[in-house]
Chains A and B, each alone.
Chain A
Amino acid sequence: MKRITASLAAIGLLAGTAALADYPEKPITIVVPYGAGGGSDIMVRTVAPYIEKYLGDGASIVVENRTGASGIIGWQAVHDARPDGYTIGVITTPSIVTKPIEGKAEFTWQDFTIIANMVTDPAALNVKKGSQFKDIAGLVDYAKENPKVVTMATGNFGGDDHLAGLQLEKLTGAEFTFVPFPGVAARNATMGGHVAVGSFNLGEAVNYQDSIDILGIMADKRSDLAPEVPTLKEQGFDVVASSQRGFAGPKGMPDEAVEKLSAAIAQAVNDPDFRKDAQNQGVVLDFADSADFTAQLDAFDKAMRKIWAESPWLE
Chain B
Amino acid sequence: MDLFSPLLDALPAVLTFPNLLAMVGGVLVGIVVGSLPGLTATMSIAVLLPLTFTMDPLVALGMMAGIYNGAMYGGAIPAILLRIPGTPAAIVTTFDGYPLAQQGRAGYALQIALLSSAFGGMMSAIAMMVLAPPLSLVTLAFGPPEVFWVGIFGMAAVAVFLGEDLPKGLLSALIGLFIGMIGLDPVMSTDRFTFGQLELESGIDIVVLMVGLYAIPPCLEMAEDTARAVGARIRLDFQPFLKTIREIPRYFRIWSWAYFYGIFVGLLPGASGSFVSFLAYERAKRMSKDPESFGKGNPEGIAASEFGNNADNAAALIPTVTLGIPGSSVAAVIMGGLLVHGLQPGPDLFRNSADIIYGFMIQMFLTSLILIPLGGSFATNLFAQVLRIPRPLLIPLIICLSIVGAYCVQNSLFDVWLMFGFGLLGYVMSKTGLPLAPVALGVILGPLIESNLRLSLLLDVRNEHILFTRPICMVLIALLVLTTVLPPVWKHIRARRARAA
A residues near B (Cβ < 8 Å) are: 35-38, 41-42, 45-46, 48-49, 64-70, 72-73, 76, 104, 148-151, 156-158, 177-182, 184-185, 187-189, 191-195, 207-208, 210-211, 276-277, 280-282, 314-315
Which residues of A sit under 8 angstroms from B455, Cβ to Cβ?
Answer: 179-181
Cα-based distance from A127 to B17 in the complex (angstroms)? 46
* Interface membership of B353, Cβ < 8 A: no
- Within the complex, the shortest CB–CB distance from B378 to chain A, in Å, comes to 27
Kindly identify which residue among B47, B198, B341 contacts A36, using a CB–CB cutoff of 8 Å.
B47
Kindly list chain A residues whose C-beta atoms are within 8 Å of the C-beta of B171.
none
- CB-defined contacts of B323 to chain A, threshold 8 Å: 188, 191, 208, 211
Q: Which residue of B lies closest to A179 (CB)?
A: B458
Once the chains bind, are B344 and A42 in contact (CB under 8 Å)? no
Q: Which residues of A contact B326 (CB under 8 A)?
A: 184
* In the complex, chain A residues whose CB is within 8 Å of the CB of B25: none
Chain A residues near B50 (CB, 8 Å)? 45-46, 48-49
Q: A36-B333, A177-B461, A315-B188 are in contact. List 4 more A-B contacts (CB 8 A).
A: A49-B53, A184-B326, A208-B346, A280-B340
Contact of A282 among B140, B332, B339, B347 (CB under 8 A): B339
**Chain B minimum-CB-distance residue to A36:** B46
Does residue B432 face the partner (Cβ distance < 8 Å to A)?
Answer: no
**Do B269 and A188 touch across chains, with their CB atoms under 8 A apart?**
yes
Residue B412 is within 8 A (CB to CB) of chain A in the complex: yes
Interface digits, B464-494 against A, CB 8 Å rule (1 contact, 0 not)? 0000000000000000000000000000000
A158 touching B43 in the complex, CB below 8 Å, given contacts A37-B333, A277-B53 = no
Task: Check: B42 CB closer than 8 A to any chain A CB.
Answer: yes
Give chain B residues whose Cβ lies under 8 Å from the Cβ of A281.
336, 339-340
A157 touches B411 (CB 8 A): no
A–B pairs, 11, beta carbons within 8 Å: A36-B42, A67-B410, A69-B198, A72-B198, A156-B189, A157-B188, A180-B455, A192-B142, A192-B143, A208-B346, A280-B344
Which of chain B's residues have a CB closer than 8 A to the CB of A66? 410-412
B339 near A210 with CB under 8 A, answer: no
Check B411–A37 contact: CB distance below 8 A.
Answer: no
Q: Known contacts A180-B186, A188-B139: does B46 contact A37 (CB below 8 Å)?
A: yes
Contacting A42 at CB < 8 Å: which of B49, B343, B451, B458? B49
B residues near A194, Cβ cutoff 8 Å: 143-144, 459
Provide the bound-state CA to CA distance between A289 and B142, in Å.
Answer: 44
Contacts known (A37-B45, A46-B50, A73-B199); A188 close to B144, Cβ less than 8 A: no
**CB–CB A151/B42 < 8 A:** no
Verify if B450 is at the interface (C-beta below 8 Å from A): no
Question: Is the Cβ of A46 less than 8 Å from the Cβ of B332?
Answer: no
Residue pair B141, A192 in contact (C-beta under 8 Å): yes
Give chain A residues whose Cβ lies under 8 Å from the Cβ of B451: 182
Indicate whether B329 reaches chain A with its CB closer than 8 angstroms: yes
Output the least CB separation between A159 and chain B (Å). 9
Q: Collect the chain A residues with CB atoms within 8 Å of residue B339's CB.
A: 280-282
What separation, in Å, do the CA atoms of A156 and B43 have in the docked complex? Answer: 24
Q: Specify the main secondary structure of chain A where it touches its partner.
A: mixed
Q: Mask for B184-207, Cβ within 8 A of A = 1, else 0? A: 001111100000001101100000
Count contacts between A and B, CB distance < 8 Å.
145
Check B332 against A37 for contact (C-beta < 8 Å).
yes
- Chain B residues with CB under 8 Å of A178's CB are 458
* Given A191-B323, A207-B344, A67 contacting B459 (CB threshold 8 A): no
In the assembled complex, which residues on chain A have CB atoms less than 8 Å from the CB atom of B373? none
B190–A67 CB distance below 8 A: no
User: In the complex, what distance in Å separates the CA atom of A148 from the CA atom of B345?
Assistant: 34
Residue of B nearest to A71 (CB): B202
Give min CB distance, A143 to chain B, whole Å.
11
In the bound complex, CA of A281 to CA of B337 (Å): 9
In the bound complex, do residue B458 and residue A37 qualify as a contact, i.e. CB atoms below 8 Å apart?
A: no
For A46, what are the chain B residues with a Cβ–Cβ distance below 8 Å? 50, 53, 340
Does B412 lie within 8 Å of A280, measured CB to CB? no
Q: Does B270 contact A (CB under 8 A)?
A: yes
Q: A314 contacts B188, CB within 8 Å?
A: yes
B104 / chain A contacts, CB cutoff of 8 Å: none
- Bound-state CA distance A314–B455 (Å) is 17
State the Cβ distance, B102 to closest chain A Cβ, in Å.
35
Q: Is there contact, CB below 8 Å, between A276 and B342?
A: yes
Chain B's nearest CB lies how many Å from the CB of A72? 6
- In the bound complex, CA of A156 to CA of B455 (Å): 12
Min CB distance A124 to B, Å, is 15
> Does B462 sit at the interface, judged by CB under 8 A?
yes
Q: Flag if B459 contacts A185 (CB, 8 Å).
A: no
Residue B163 lies at the interface, judged by CB distance under 8 Å to chain A: no
**A261 CB, nearest partner CB in chain B, Å:** 19
Of B202, B270, B347, the residue contacting A68 (CB under 8 A) is B202
Assess whether B49 is in contact with A45, with CB atoms less than 8 Å apart: yes
Check if B201 sits within 8 Å of A68, measured CB to CB: yes
Assembly CA distance A35 to B329 (angstroms)? 10
Give the residues in chain B near A151, CB-CB below 8 Å. Answer: 458-459, 461
Cβ of B216 < 8 Å from any Cβ of A? no
List the 8 shortest-distance A-B pairs measured between CB atoms, nearest first.
A194-B143, A36-B46, A37-B333, A192-B140, A69-B201, A37-B46, A42-B336, A69-B198
Known pairs A158-B189, A207-B346, A280-B339; A42 contacts B410 (CB<8 A): no
Cβ–Cβ < 8 Å partners of B187 in chain A: 157, 180
Q: Please state if B189 and A157 are interface contacts (CB–CB under 8 Å).
A: yes
Residues of A close to B144: CB separation below 8 A: 189, 194
Query: What's the least CB distance linking A160 to chain B, in Å?
Result: 14
